[in-house]
């Protein structure tokens, strides 16, 4: 039996409270990377009531994405991930404000992206490219925007091994090791991350993957963003 007085966020409000839901509605979150991790983080944030998004990705959906990426369907192969994400958000949260930037985040595009980060409440880094992750961490640090960064999820099988930790307290993850070194060189004292303590089963390229590992990382990221935004 359905309660006609319920809204899209009634159950969320019952859990978090009215003030927290309003805080989420007022928030603006930038999601960089809409693949296996980013697509699930975005979905959970949209369903949690985030009111405004900036989405950054230049990739198109391929058949090999279907095994793990929320936006990947046979009907979306060949389409830009940003376009598909915008359509999906419109069906989940039609009142949400969404800016889609179909580009690769790099030094060449960073200035243009930065103009869209004004008033940003949080940044989700689900980028694969190391240089882009470093650049985004530098940008967030300079602009004083909270950020959470996904470490490697490829070649792994156990979603229960993910943890939230500062980059300088991570272990095992090869990507985290590289970032620790690079961020230390740049004088960046901290970076919140989601990383796995699982030793990779393989070392193949491109990384092997399965549906329930990157999705778990994305949902954990969304959880951290919601908790941080509503903590005060």
Regions in the chain scoring below 50 on pLDDT: none
Question: What does the pLDDT read at residue 51?
Answer: 99
The answer to whether residues 123 and 147 touch, using CB atoms and an 8 Å cutoff, is yes
- 4 inside domain: no
Question: What does the pLDDT read at residue 2?
Answer: 60
- 184 inside domain: yes
Question: What does the pLDDT read at residue 202?
Answer: 80
Domain count, the chain: 1
Distance of alpha carbon 71 from alpha carbon 86, whole angstroms: 10
- 107 inside domain: yes
- 208 inside domain: yes
Question: What does the pLDDT read at residue 205?
Answer: 84
Spell 143-169 as b/e; 16+ CB within 10 A means b. eebebbbbbbbbbbeebeebbebebee
Task: Supply the pTM of this predicted model.
Answer: 0.97
Q: What is the CATH number of the domain that holds 58?
A: 3.40.50.720
Parent domain of 92: 10-230
- 5 inside domain: no
- 28 inside domain: yes
Least Cα distance to 16 among 55, 50, 60, 54 occurs for 50
Distance of alpha carbon 18 from alpha carbon 161, whole angstroms: 33
Question: What does the pLDDT read at residue 3?
Answer: 63
């Amino acid at each position: 039996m359905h309660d006609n007085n319920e809204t899209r966020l009634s159950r969320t409000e019952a859990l978090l409270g009215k003030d927290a839901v309003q805080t989420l509605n007022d928030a603006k979150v930038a999601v960089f990377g809409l693949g296996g991790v980013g697509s699930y983080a975005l979905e959970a944030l949209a369903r949690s009531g985030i009111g405004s998004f900036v989405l950054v990705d230049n990739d198109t959906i391929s058949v090999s994405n279907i095994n793990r990426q929320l936006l990947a369907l046979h009907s979306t192969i060949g389409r830009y991930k940003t376009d598909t994400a915008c359509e999906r958000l419109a069906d989940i949260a039609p009142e949400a404000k969404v800016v889609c930037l179909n580009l690769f985040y790099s030094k060449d595009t960073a200035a243009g992206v930065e103009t869209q980060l004004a008033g940003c409440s949080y940044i989700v880094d689900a980028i694969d490219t190391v240089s882009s992750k470093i650049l985004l961490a530098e940008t967030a640090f300079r602009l004083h925007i909270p950020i959470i960064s996904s470490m490697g999820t490829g070649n792994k099988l156990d979603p229960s091994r993910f943890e939230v930790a500062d980059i300088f307290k991570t272990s095992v993850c090869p990507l985290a090791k590289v970032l620790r070194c690079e961020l230390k060189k740049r004088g960046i004292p901290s970076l919140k991350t989601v990383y796995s303590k699982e030793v990779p089963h393989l070392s193949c390229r491109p990384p092997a993957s399965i549906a329930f590992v990157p999705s778990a990382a994305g949902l954990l990221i969304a959880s951290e963003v919601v908790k941080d935004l509503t903590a005060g």
